[in-house]
Amino acid sequence: MKLSSYFYLFILIVLSSCQKKTKLPNEISKPNIIIFYADDMGYGDLAIQNPESKIPTPNLDQLAKEGMLMSDAHSSSGICTPSRYALLTGRYHWRDFNDIVHSMGPTVFKENQVTLPKILKENGYHTAAIGKWHLGWDWEAIRKKDFIQKEKTQLRNKQVEIWPAQAYDWSKKIPGGPLSIGFDSYFGDGTINFPPYTWIENDKVTEVPTLTLQHPKEDFALEGNWELRPGPSVKDWDFYKVLPTVTSSAVTFIKNQENAQKPFFLYMAFPSPHAPIIPNEEFRGKSKAGPYGDWVYQTDDAVGQILEALKLIKADENTIVIFTSDNGSEIYAYNRIKNYNHDSSHPFRGVKRDVYEGGHHVPFVVKWPKKIKPGTTSKQLFSQIDILNTLATITNSKVPKGFAHDSYNFSDVWLTENNKIVRENIIHNTFTSKYAVRKGDWLYINNKDGYHARIPKWFKEGQRFKADKDTVQLFNLKDDIGQSTNLASQFPEKVKELAADLINQQKTETFQN
């Protein structure tokens, strides 16, 4: 009897153990993913990486302390549309285009293009985009073809003709937007300073535009210009409500995931600190860098609100959080140096649009509790186009066969602090006339200068760079991070090497979509 009892006990233990799923040592559940994408935030704005910053960024500083700060990270372009395209496709933008999507412009995506939201959606993720889009829609699909009278209006110093609000059938779905590239949902205003000025939910407007919004006559931006493009608008559209509204939408989205059966991917694209520079009243005076500094501070606060919602649903432990920016700070950054002694590009040369480091060397923080060691810094050369390959690897998501794209896999760097070099070079570009090649410590520019943005006369006089007669530029960033001394004439062989690398990259198509 005693032996029989032991036997049955043994059988019971075996059966119970068989019911438990065996978990491999390296197996991980699918993490949620949040990408915070700031608009025109410079490397020097983030307090944790610029001790001289006049802007408090407590939530982003804390995010960096809890995760990894990548100090040599870059957007694909010095302007927003190409950088966003590159991040979402894992592909250099310059293989396909260079410019932004202009007012009421078409989508930049090709049919059936590989994108990060598509890859994650096919792996069981619920995918959402909130905030700025600026990657185009098929507005022509909803334009009334029998409406032939355009409206004359002013854009900066010239008169232009645009289609008024009445030229569109706003009851129709708008094709070619976020839902067409793999997002399950979208909420936002498209682009804060581009029409139409109304909220868009998924692929339809929530309120029909009835008038043409031109330059506001009252309530001017607190710093810089409105940067406003005229176009269809709802009545009494309030620019000051854009950032609070998209922040609230993101908080609600996170809270709604508490009992969700799927992991989620949230692409949270802020409209700030892009112009118009319009911090809400409760944030004014919170920095020592003027209205722009307050606008950055409000963006930091928005990040904090969303991360707090993540904690409330107890999802922060298994969520990869990424924060970065689409390019460097706008040209108004020069006057902030003079007026507030705050350098948004610190320690780099150049601003938004430039192929100098200040145009594309951006903040980048990634956090994943218990997976990414907190308080670490990686000096590896990294591009936002590497996000796709890295996240696809971590989540064990399938990418199409032959996807030998521009995107590199940095999962070992994030998860194991592996110091083996992953990416040896990056091609920097904004517009077609100028390219830069980064390889190791060396950076080559195929032009006599790397500027696209206009430099104020007072800055040029006060910040002199060594003059030379070379038609190209070469810098050693290890010794000269500010790109002040052109070494092209001293190292002709290095110039030749990097110029050849550029040509080879431009000739090579890595993947046919």
Q: Is the C-alpha dihedral spanning 469, 470, 476, 482 positive or negative?
A: positive
CA angle 474, 478, 482 (to 5 degrees): 65
- Angle 386-394/80-89 helices, nearest 10 degrees? 30
State the residue for tokens 């119970």: 16
Average pLDDT over residues 326-335: 97
3 state SS of 93: helix
Q: Is the per-residue pLDDT at 3 higher than 70?
A: no
Quickly state the pLDDT bin for 2 (edges 50, 70, 90): very low
Per-residue pLDDT, 226: 86
Q: Extract the tokens encoding 246.
A: 């998209």
3 state SS of 305: helix
Per-residue pLDDT, 18: 40
| Residue 233, strand partner residues | 197, 211
Per-residue pLDDT, 468: 67
DSSP 126-181: EEEEEEE--S---GGGGB-TT----EEEEETTEEEEE--GGGB-TTS--TTSGGGG
3 state SS of 405: coil
For residues 191 and 193, what is the distance between their CA atoms, to the nearest angstrom? 6
State the residue for tokens 């150049």: 350
Per-residue pLDDT, 481: 96
Average pLDDT over residues 199-203: 98
For 267-300, the pLDDT digits (tens) are 999 999 999 999 999 999 999 999 999 999 999 9
Q: Extract the tokens encoding 291.
A: 């209205």
For 298-327, the pLDDT digits (tens) are 999 999 999 999 999 999 999 999 999 999
Q: Is the per-residue pLDDT at 475 higher than 90?
A: yes
- Angle 333-340/290-312 helices, nearest 10 degrees? 110
Q: Is the C-alpha dihedral spanning 210, 216, 222, 226 positive or negative?
A: positive
Identify whether the C-beta of residue 314 lies closer than 8 Å to the C-beta of residue 25.
no
Per-residue pLDDT, 404: 62
Per-residue pLDDT, 217: 61
Return phi, psi of residue 474, to 5°. -140, 130
Per-residue pLDDT, 219: 64
Identify whether the C-beta of residue 330 lies closer than 8 Å to the C-beta of residue 45.
no
Identify whether the C-beta of residue 359 lies closer than 8 Å to the C-beta of residue 327.
yes
The answer to whether the peptide bond before residue 369 is cis (omega within 30 degrees of 0) is: no
For 416-474, the pLDDT digits (tens) are 978 899 999 999 999 999 999 999 999 999 999 999 999 998 988 766 676 667 899 99
Average pLDDT score over the chain: 92
Percentage of the chain modeled with pLDDT above 90: 84
